Structure 1
C-alpha cells in the first residue's frame, strides 16, 4: 500500500493526501507489492534494493548512501495480541532521504507513523526532510519507552499472580515478556550505533536545532537501553525466584509423601509379622480377642511415637 502526503505552507500547515508523487512530499509504503516498489523506484530514482530493504524482518539497523539517496533503517517496537495477551516485538523501518522526497517503508502499519498522518506532531512538514527524519527517530525512542513502561506494569501484575498460583500460563507470560526485552535490547543497541553514525551526516549538520534534536534522540535511546537492562534483570530475578519456589514446593511435597509412607508402613510391618502362619510367634498362645487388642495397641502406640518423632524433625 502506498500513501502520499504533502504539507501546505508553514503559516497554516496541513497534511494533504496526494494522488501522485510531487517534490516535497512524503511517500509512506506499508508492505508494498513488487509493482508498487518498481513504480516508486521509477518516479524517485531510488534503487529497488533500498525500497526492499525494510521488507526483511531480520534486517539490521544501518545507514547506506548511494548517489543522492540516504537509506536509514531502524528497528521500531510493535505490539501484538497472542492468546489474549499483549506481546512485543520489533520490525525494521526504512527511511529514505532523496533530493526531493522522503520515503518510509515498513512491513506493518505503525502507530508511530500514524501520529504524523493524524497531525499529532507539532512543527511537522514533509518538505523539511532532515527534520522529519529526526522527528521520526524521536518518536521511535519515545515508543520504546512507552512499551517498556507497559512491560514493567504487566510484569508486576504477573508477579502478583505468581504469589497465588504457579500455573504454566502465568510462567509463560513472564517468559514472553523476558523474550520481548531481549528483542528490545538488541534493537536499541543496534539503533544506537546508527544514531551515532547520523551525527556525521551533512544533512544533520545544517541547522543547530537539528543537532540538538538528534542529541535528544540519542539520550532517549540510551535511557531506553538502561530501562531495558534494568527490567531484564528484574524479570530474570523473578524467573529464578519462581524456579526456586517451585523446587522448594516440590521438595515439601516429596517430604510429606515420604513421611506419610513411613507412618503407613508401621501397621503393615506388625500385620505382616503377626499374620505369618508359623508356630512360636509372640502372643500366639493367647485367645484371639485379647491377642488382637494387644497387637492393635502396639501398632497404635508405635504409630503415635513415630508421628511425634517425625514432627519434631519437621517432617510434617
Structure 2
C-alpha cells in the first residue's frame, strides 16, 4: 500500500501526488508500487526491497542522491489465539525533496504520524521526522517489554499450580522474544550513533534534546530487555529444578510401593508351589484359616515395610 502525506497549514494531510517535502509511506508494497516509486524518485529498486527481508540488518547506507536508514521495529503476531512479539526491519530513505518509509507490514509505529497526533511533526523537517520515528520506536519497545513482563508474572503464577508443556513452551517463547528485542535494540543503538555524525542530514539545534531522549529511551529499553531476560533465565532454571524435584518425589513413591508389593508377591509365589505328599509342607497349609492368615500376614509385612521406608532417610 502506497500512501502519501504532507504537512499543510500545520496539519498532516494525505495527498494524491508526491510533492516537495512530502512523506511516502510504503506498507506491504506491491512490485508495481515499488517500481513506480523507484522510477519517480531514482532510488535503487534493491534498496526499496531491502526492508522486505525480515533478516535484513540495521544499518545506514549513504548513496549519491539519498540516504537509507534501516532499523528494527517491534511487531505483534497472533498465533494460537495469543500475541507473540518479534522484530521486523523498517527503512527510512531520505532524498533531497522526499522522505520515504518502507515496511513489510502496516506498523503501528507510523500510525500516529499519519493521524497527525505527534507534536511538532512536519513532513518537510526530515531529520526531526527520523528522530521522532526512532523515539516512537523506542517507546513501542518499552511498551511491549512491559506487556511481556506482565505476561511473565501471570505465567509464573500458572506454573506454580500447573507444570504442563504448554506453560514451559510459552516461557521459552518469551525468552526468545527478549533475545530478539535485545539484539535489535543494540543494532538500533549503533544506527543512532552513526546518525549523530552523519553530516548530509540537516540537524536542527532544537532537536538536540529530542536526540538525547531517543538515545535515553533506547538505552532504557536495552536495560529492561536485559533485566527481563535474566529474570526469565532464572525462572526457567528454577522451574526446571522444581520439575526434577517433583519427578524425584514421584519416583520415590513408586519405589516404596514397588518394594512393599514385592514382599506379598514373594510370599504368594512360595505358597503357589506344588509339594509332594509326605514331604515337609508349607506352614499353615493344613489349617482351616491358613489361606486368610497368610494373606493378612503378607499384607501386614508389606504395610510395615512401606511405613519403614517412608520414614527412612534414604527416601527423604
1:133 to 127, 130, 133: 130
1:25 to 10, 22, 26: 22
The number of residue pairs the alignment matches comes to 312
Correspondences of 1:1-316 after superposition (within 5 Å): 1-9=1-9, 13-203=10-200, 206-278=203-275, 279-283=279-283, 287-313=286-312, 315=315
Q: Deviations over 1:68-87 (max 9, x none)?
A: 31100000000111101110
Taking structure 1 as the reference length, the TM-score comes to: 0.94
8 Å contact kept, 2:259–2:306 = no
What residue ranges of structure 2 are gaps of 5+ in the alignment?
none
For residues 174 and 227 of structure 1, the distance between their equivalents in structure 2, rounded to whole angstroms, comes to: 17
After superposition, the CA RMSD in angstroms is 1.7
8 Å contact kept, 1:274–1:281 = no
Taking structure 2 as the reference length, the TM-score comes to: 0.94
8 Å contact kept, 2:5–2:14 = yes
SS in 2 for 1:6: strand
8 Å contact kept, 2:51–2:103 = yes
Q: Deviations over 1:175-225 (max 9, x none)?
A: 111111111111111111111111101256632222332222111111111
SS in 2 for 1:271: helix
For residues 302 and 31 of structure 2, the distance between their equivalents in structure 1, rounded to whole angstroms, comes to: 82
SS in 2 for 1:176: helix
8 Å contact kept, 1:64–1:72 = yes
8 Å contact kept, 2:60–2:68 = yes
For residues 304 and 132 of structure 1, the distance between their equivalents in structure 2, rounded to whole angstroms, comes to: 79
SS in 2 for 1:91: strand
For residues 154 and 216 of structure 1, the distance between their equivalents in structure 2, rounded to whole angstroms, comes to: 27
1:293: how far off? 4.7
8 Å contact kept, 2:28–2:105 = yes
Higher mean C-alpha displacement, 260-269 vs 151-160:
260-269
